[in-house]
Amino acid sequence: MRRARIIYNPTSGRELFKRHLPEVLEAMELAGYETSCHATTGAGDAAAAAKKAVENDFDLIVAAGGDGTLNEVVAGVSVYENRPKLGLIPMGTTNDFARALHIPRDISKAVDIITSGDSIPVDVGKVNDTFFINIAGGGRITELTYEVPSRLKTVLGQLAYYLKGIEMLPSIKASQLHIEFDGEVFDEEAMMFLIGLTNSVGGFEKLAPDASINDGKFTLLILKKVNIAEFIRLATLAIRGEHLSDPHVIYRKASKITVTSEESVLLNLDGEYGGTLPAVFENLHRHVEIMAPVHLLPEQDKVGLVNEDLMS
Ligand SMILES: Nc1ncnc2c1ncn2[C@@H]1O[C@H](COP(=O)(O)OP(=O)(O)OP(=O)(O)O)[C@@H](O)[C@H]1O
């Protein structure tokens, strides 16, 4: 019998997951998985639990939580040569990654996708000695994600980020950045840079409209120095996906990106604090395999899949 390990964050998603655990375990059992669980205890614990699951030869690791929990699970397995498949039950506030993979927020529907057996390889971002699955960024405006208290997120969800964004507007300023990407160089003041693996970031679903989850490329978006009025105008354009042709925006695909600054610039990795610059970003092509409804994914994410399957 195959063995699955569920790693869940008991505090995310209004603490709902625990109550549904018996049904989840039953569905996994029916699908042929002998399943055990681990409730995370705090920062870093999901990564440690994922490493332990790899070392104990589990066939599947299911992450139940928000992007933070999934990030840790991916980071935990990414250091190994033999990586088990991953499943995802989105329980967080934003669930950007789950949205990009069309994994529903409903617990039993998410479990159905895991038990159906369909999966897709996805790229993983490596930065210095750590990993990200969705987005990395830097610049004062990207710092708001960890200034939102988690209690406020539980009560207000997505709205908490927007409120914090408005509160912080007057204090956002540009930083001098030196960015090298696949042979090109950017060296001037910028409000922020974003390095994305998916097209879905903090509810801005059209930020990187042509991003593919497994093409081996990051989408790099640099917002040059602008004033507050221009910033608001560009944010409005970004909601509609119309920001890419603006002269204040640089938008490129690259598989290796180096960012340095003489100022102290904090890094944000998947919505959490991720150290400071300098940073070297490398795209680990198709590094993990995640259970997902492949038929719902855009064609750009399925390139070469059938051929590779036939050859293996
Ligand atoms: N038992 C726990 N008590 C408190 N914090 C925890 C516990 N387990 C994990 N955490 C922390 O919660 C962080 C965020 O969790 P997660 O991303 O799963 O949920 P979220 O914050 O609700 O969702 P989102 O990231 O989508 O906003 C994790 O990175 C981890 O540091």
Show the domains of the chain with their CATH numbers. 2-117 (3.40.50.10330), 131-284 (2.60.200.40)
pLDDT, one tens digit per residue, over 4-29 is 999 999 998 888 999 999 999 999 99
38: pLDDT strictly greater than 50: yes
pLDDT, one tens digit per residue, over 61-114 is 999 999 889 999 999 999 999 999 999 999 987 788 998 999 999 999 999 999
229 CA distance to ligand 1 middle (Å):
34
ipTM score over 0.90, yes or no:
yes
Burial label, 12 (beta-carbon count in 10 A; 0-12, 13-18, 19+) = buried
Give the percent of the chain with pLDDT over 90: 66
94 CA distance to ligand 1 middle (Å):
12
Q: Residue 67: CB within 6 Å of ligand 1? A: yes
**Which structure tokens are listed for 148?**
């939102």
Q: Residue 69: CB within 6 Å of ligand 1? A: yes
The residue contributing the CA closest to ligand 1 atom 6 is 42
Q: Residue 71: CB within 6 Å of ligand 1? A: no
The residue contributing the CA closest to ligand 1 atom 16 is 66
Q: Residue 203: CB within 6 Å of ligand 1? A: no
Q: What is the DSSP track for 12-38?
A: SGGG-HHHHHHHHHHHHHHTTEEEEEE
8 CA distance to ligand 1 middle (Å):
9
pLDDT, one tens digit per residue, over 210-266 is 889 999 999 999 999 998 888 888 888 888 888 889 999 999 999 999 999 999 999
Distance CA 301, CA 299 (A): 5
196 CA distance to ligand 1 middle (Å):
21
Q: Which residues participate in catalysis according to the annotation?
A: 272
Cis-peptide, bond into residue 84, ω within 30° of zero: no
Q: Give the mutation target among 12, 16, 164, 268 for probing the ligand 1 site: most ligand atoms within 8 A of CB.
A: 12
Q: Give the mutation target among 8, 62, 69 for probing the ligand 1 site: most ligand atoms within 8 A of CB.
A: 69
Please name the residue that has the structure tokens 């090109």.
184
165 CA distance to ligand 1 middle (Å):
21
User: 306 falls in which pLDDT band (50, 70, 90)?
Assistant: low
**SS3 of residue 243 by DSSP:** coil
Q: Residue 92: CB within 6 Å of ligand 1? A: yes
- The dihedrals phi and psi of 227, each to the nearest 5 degrees, come to -85, 175
Q: Give the mutation target among 6, 8, 11, 15 for probing the ligand 1 site: most ligand atoms within 8 A of CB.
A: 11
